Structure formats: C-alpha cells, structure tokens
Amino acid sequence: MSRTAYEARGISQVYKKGKQRVRANDDISLTVGEGEILGVLGPNGAGKSTLIKQLVGQLKPTEGEVLFFGRDVLQQTRTVAEYVAYFSQEPHVLSVLRAHEALAFTGRLRGMDAREASRQAHELLARFGMADMENKFLKQLSGGQKRLVGIGTALIGNSPVLILDEPTNELDPKNRRLVWQMIQEHNRAGATVILVTHNVLEAEQVVDRVAVINHGRLLAIDSVAKLKRQVDQRLKFMITVEVGRREETETALRPWGIVQEAGENRLRVLVDKRNAGELLDFIIRHTELPIEEYAVTPPSLEDVYFHIDEASAVREAMNA
C-alpha cells in the first residue's frame, strides 16, 4: 500500500482586501498518495495556485495544516524544498542565463554534482528539441521555449515529488504532448505528481485522480473513472449557433438539461440519456432556432468538471 505523500487538513486562506476578508480557499482536506498523479482543476481564480503554494510551504494557511510524508511543511520547509520540485506560473527569474546554464544551475542548487547536472541539462534540452539553443539566453527564446526550460528546471534532478502549476500553458500541441509524456515517465519512475491545469481533456489521459476546485472550495476529489460515472447517464450536445444569438438558444434549451457557454457562439448541453432523443427531435423540428451545427458525444472529464461546478452552484443557491 502506498504511503501518503501529502495531506491537507482543513486548510483555508483568508486575505484582507481593504475592509473585506476574501477567502482564497476554504476548508480544503485532501490526501495525495506516493506515486500518484493528482490533477487540480478549476477556473481562473478558483484557488488552485493558493493551494499549491500552501502545499510547497510558501504560503502559511490561515487555518489548518499541510503534512508532507507526515511532517508539517511549515516546520520542514527546507526538507520540502529538497524533495519537491515546484514549477510556478511566476515569470522566469533565470532569463539572463543561457538555456543550459539555467537547467544545470538549478540542478546544482538541488544538490547534484556538476557533471550530472550538466548531463541532465543536455539531455533535457535534446528532448525539448532545443539542443542547438543551449547557449542562447532565455530572454532570446520564444514564450513556449522559455516554458519548456522552466519545466526542465522542475524535472532536473528527478525529484520524488513534482508540483506543476499549468505546465502546458503557452505550448504548441506537439510540445504539450511531449510534456505530458515526460510527466508520465517521471511518474512511472516513482515520482508523485500534483499538477494544476486548465487543459482538462489532455490531463484526463494522464492523471489518476482529480480534485475539482472552485471559489476556494474542494468540490470533488476522485478517480477520473468515478467522476465520469457521475455523468455517464448523460450525453453531451455541442451546439454551434449563429453569432450573437447564443443567449436565446440557451433559454430555449435550458428545460432539457445543464446548458453552459462553451465559447462565443457555442453551447454545451448535458442531457439525461433518456431525454437525448427528445432533445434531438426538438432541435430538428424547431428550424427557427439559430443552430448551425451540433454533435452528440459521451461526456469527457471536462464535462464532469462543469457538471460538478453547476451542481455546487445550484446547492449554494438553494442554501441561500
């Protein structure tokens, strides 16, 4: 049985914004097993990065505690830094260094010897397809290439725990695939991975469990399969409407299920399987609706996320 790498016990973070007290996260409790990949999902401002900063010990929770292999992270910040490689969203501090320097220096600061740090730096740059850019300054590289070097600074040294905040942002599809692949390789070698991502569809292929966070609250945490079961009695309609006529279509479709905006002129409708036929019929018969295109698919993890978020909003409204 695997050990618990991380345990968050009822952590909350309250900030003062003028006279108001804002809760960045609220009573979050979760565990992450050793060797597991946990995906943390949620919209912008949901409190994901706050949670991550609490896990690495850079932010002291207002309430609750975080344990790393049974030790309080705030009492063991140096130990956490020894074992956890953290890739944050903050701008890269090493932009004045050359690509190879940035990686090798980070490796050496993690306690690697010079030769091994340099070897791994070469290897990482080669994997990123940047072997010919080793001597280029980071500031001369493109946004995506800088991002790759940033991810490299987390991967160098094969830390037993990786915490990655939006690792695939700014990357093209090829490099996104490469990064997911490298994360999986580290995990197969025994690393525990906690990653924050917006890219639900890609994360679905990689993560073991998912924590859904919104408004600072943990709405759900479970395996992808179990979470998907919450919506497996449903079908997803992806509907494209005429530009500027999304709202009226949304109103017309609302009786059929959960309707959500999926883009400027796109809607996502989660419908009970038993009613899917009727909705299809409704769309075909009501030709006055400004629907240009529609597709029916089984729900993905992304839909689970929207379903949970919607259900939580409904609960909150009912409680209010």
* Cβ-based nearer residue to other proteins, 165 or 202: 165
How far is the C-alpha of 74 from the C-alpha of 58, rounded, in Å? 8
196: phi then psi, degrees, rounded to nearest 5? -95, 130
Minimum distance, C-beta of residue 102 to other proteins, in the bound complex (Å):
9
* Cβ-based nearer residue to other proteins, 208 or 250: 208
Q: Are 51 and 194 in contact (CB under 8 A)?
A: no
* Cβ-based nearer residue to other proteins, 71 or 174: 71
Minimum distance, C-beta of residue 30 to other proteins, in the bound complex (Å):
19
Half-sphere exposure of 16 (CA within 13 A, CB side): 2
* Cβ-based nearer residue to other proteins, 5 or 231: 5
Minimum distance, C-beta of residue 315 to other proteins, in the bound complex (Å):
32
> Which strand (E) or helix (H) includes residue 213?
strand 209-214
Contact positions vs other proteins (CB under 8 A) = 3, 34, 56-60, 69-71, 74, 77-79, 81-86, 88, 90-94, 96-97, 101, 105-106, 108-113, 116, 137, 153, 157-161, 190
Give the torsion through C-alpha atoms of 299, 305, 310, 316, to 10 deg: 150
* Cβ-based nearer residue to other proteins, 97 or 194: 97
Of 106, 197, 90, 94, residue with least CA distance to 153: 106
Whole-Å CA distances, 124 to 128, 167, 258, 268: 6, 15, 44, 39
* Cβ-based nearer residue to other proteins, 103 or 258: 103
Q: Centre a 10 Å sphere on the Cβ of residue 250 and count the other Cβ atoms it contains.
A: 16
Q: And the tokens for 117?
A: 């740090």
Amino acid at 31: T
DSSP code of residue 286: -
* Cβ-based nearer residue to other proteins, 15 or 293: 15
Minimum distance, C-beta of residue 147 to other proteins, in the bound complex (Å):
14
* Cβ-based nearer residue to other proteins, 106 or 265: 106
Minimum distance, C-beta of residue 58 to other proteins, in the bound complex (Å):
5
Minimum distance, C-beta of residue 103 to other proteins, in the bound complex (Å):
12
Minimum distance, C-beta of residue 137 to other proteins, in the bound complex (Å):
8
How far is the C-alpha of 148 from the C-alpha of 283, rounded, in Å? 45
Minimum distance, C-beta of residue 34 to other proteins, in the bound complex (Å):
7
How far out from the chain centre does Cα 187 lie?
Answer: 16
Whole-Å CA distances, 194 to 79, 81, 160: 18, 15, 11
| Strand pairing report for 161-165 and 192-197 | parallel
